[in-house]
Chain A
Amino acid sequence: MTDGPTTLSLEELAPEAGVLRIYRQVFSVLAREHGAMISDVELLDIDEAILAAFADAGNEGLTLESAVAACRRHDPASVTRRFEVLRGYGAITRVVDHPGERFHRAAFAPYVMLLFLRRLAAAGGQGELHQLLALEGLSIRSPGAVADDGRGSVNRLSRVFRLMANQLSSLTTTSPVEELREHAELLWGNRALISQAEDVHAQALQRWPELDRECAQLRTALAAYADSSESAAARLIEQAGSTRALGLLPVETWRSFARTSDAQTLAGVLDGQVFDAVAPWFSPQAMALAVENASSSGPVRMPPPRPTGDTDAPTDRPVAGDCDLREFTDRVLAHRDRVGVSQLLDDAQDWMDGRRTLSLLVASHHSPEVDAELTWADGFRVDPQAAVPWVSGGMFGRVVGSGNA
């Protein structure tokens, strides 16, 4: 993922030995040991802690022991291992190049790389792409820039957009829609990227008209990217179902929409929807029963004070029905995690009893209070002799991993 922007921004560096040294340094944070990539993101935390310790240490540097001490939140053995890996890649070097030297200093490039990687991972690389574009814009405007600098910038941009366009088109035309969905970040902020690139393009062309061929290529690349994101978006929307397209926007877009929108804007989302008015039914029998129960129940105790002044919160909810459902579920699933629907219905005395069981099963399944679910299978069991002659296949059981179900 880092090959694109990093090599592009670093390839200009000369001489070659210096480039290689920086390459080795910056990739040290990704190295598990010599020749292997890290497999655990936690190692990045340790690297960051080590580099932070060096930043705090001043120009004397750190010994391995003092680095371990400074990173005491992490396991000393792991810190020692990371220290050695960083040293192996030249991210950390001895203050004096002598095997007996105990003090080390750290280069800054690995830390920059680490920050870069974290941001790339957090936002899918869009921000970095914007920054790359901004940097190319700066270098084109720089008074000392010559036509070759402009050519370099324009070519690099063409390559970035061509790579993105190619990846999108191939996903759109040949991959299952799920895979396209997983790469939705290629679509994020595409307008802003294109217009930023167009700025760079316009400035380069104005300053160096001889770059018209390179600029034409950039225009083609931008158009290809615009086209491919359009057809990718169209395919994603076609296959969006009821909610799938929601996952195609970055989390941050949703958060900022929720945070910054006024009531009018938020409510506007419901345009075109019609919902039911509140319409509870009160049967006179239920009213009479409630009155009767009240007179027999005696004094009612003051409820305990509520936590946060959220007067309408949980204590208000009707618990009777759900309590019943929980009892029912506990009883049915007392000695087992799941049970066949037909088995439960076979215990029924008669059809009426069976149907009550069925209603309780379905109500338990729907109740947010009960951590059990009803899974229906295809097929029916028909037995004219049974109390419930017609039973659809299904299982009733505890929700697996009820932590989030």
Chain B
Amino acid sequence: MHPAFTAAVADLSERHRDEVLAAYAAVEHSWQPLHESQMLALRDATLRRALQQMLHPLGRTLVKVGPHLWTSGYRDDIARELSEEMLESLPLVDRAVFVLILIHSVAIPRSQGLIDQDTWISNQPTSVEELNRYSRLPRTAVRTGLARLRASGLVQIAPDRRPHQARGSSNTNAGASYLPGPQLARLTPAARRRLQEELILAAGADTPLAAAIRARRARPSEDGVLKPSAPEATETQENS
């Protein structure tokens, strides 16, 4: 077994070690974020620190999704390095479809004042028709892309929860609708912020907001650029 799994829990009792490993498996592999009440190692601050120390040498970090809700994500410094390698697991067009869904399900509803919570998880569906009609992407590419995006948890099919009297309205035959998927919960605060900023830079490059973002990034002292330091876990303990 990799020393990371043992080093982080070396000082713990056997029972606590099991708790931390179970929590590791849960946050890393579960499709959805977990509530603290489900895992001792998420609610107990000491064990949570051990969990964070287990995740850290594997390039991962704990992500707080909401009150009492946790999952894991890529460390910000690791994400930066990996994205510089320019290796992509998703085809270009899939990523484009995904961004369209973020625009229709998050950005536009936000501009319309329909979303209250500050999260990339949205309840505003994007219909396949919107994706086809209001974009330059080829129809077939959108369809195959959506299948891969669903499998990776970047998007999910939206439930049709409209009351029956509303179902007769505009998009009855529009086919399925989509929402951003559970994988978005794994974005760290810095990654969430970066996604927002990249969208603004791309869509509104000549707005004062884009200028403010560029100015902010040009000041390395502020959190526009994170230093590659580990906020919670420390490197030294892993090698001991």
Q: Do chains A and B touch in the complex (CB under 8 A)?
A: yes
CB of A253 closer than 8 Å to a CB of B: yes
Cβ-defined contact, A368 with B157, below 8 A:
yes
Cβ-defined contact, A267 with B99, below 8 A:
yes
Cβ-defined contact, A237 with B192, below 8 A:
no
CB of B45 closer than 8 Å to a CB of A: no
Chain A contacts of B192 at CB under 8 A?
A: 242-243
Chain A contacts of B206 at CB under 8 A?
A: 191
Chain A contacts of B120 at CB under 8 A?
A: 242-243
Cβ-defined contact, A233 with B212, below 8 A:
yes
Q: Mark A341-352, 1 if CB is under 8 A from B, else 0.
A: 000000000000
CB of B58 closer than 8 Å to a CB of A: no
Report which A residues bind B (CB closer than 8 A).
187-191, 229-230, 232-234, 236-238, 240-251, 253-255, 257-278, 280-281, 307-308, 310-314, 316-317, 355, 358-359, 362-363, 366, 368-369, 371, 374, 376, 390-392, 402-405
Known: A242-B192, A258-B104, A308-B173. A272 touches B136 (CB 8 A): no
Q: List 7 A-B contacts (CB under 8 A).
A: A189-B207, A244-B196, A249-B200, A265-B202, A266-B137, A271-B83, A362-B38
Cβ-defined contact, B134 with A366, below 8 A:
no
Chain A contacts of B157 at CB under 8 A?
A: 313-314, 317, 368
Chain A contacts of B46 at CB under 8 A?
A: none
Report which B residues bind A (CB closer than 8 A).
29, 32-38, 67-68, 74, 78-80, 82-83, 89-90, 92-93, 95-96, 98-100, 102-104, 106-108, 110-113, 115, 118-120, 123-124, 128, 134-137, 141, 143-144, 146-148, 150-154, 156-159, 161-163, 166, 173, 175-176, 179, 182-183, 186-187, 189, 191-200, 202-204, 206-209, 211-213, 215-216
Cβ-defined contact, B136 with A237, below 8 A:
no
Interface of B, helix, strand, loop or mixed by DSSP:
helix
Query: How far, in Å, is B209 (CB) from chain A's closest CB?
Result: 5
Contact for A249 among B38, B147, B207, CB less than 8 A:
B207
Cβ-defined contact, A264 with B92, below 8 A:
yes
**A255 CA to B110 CA, complexed, in Å:** 13
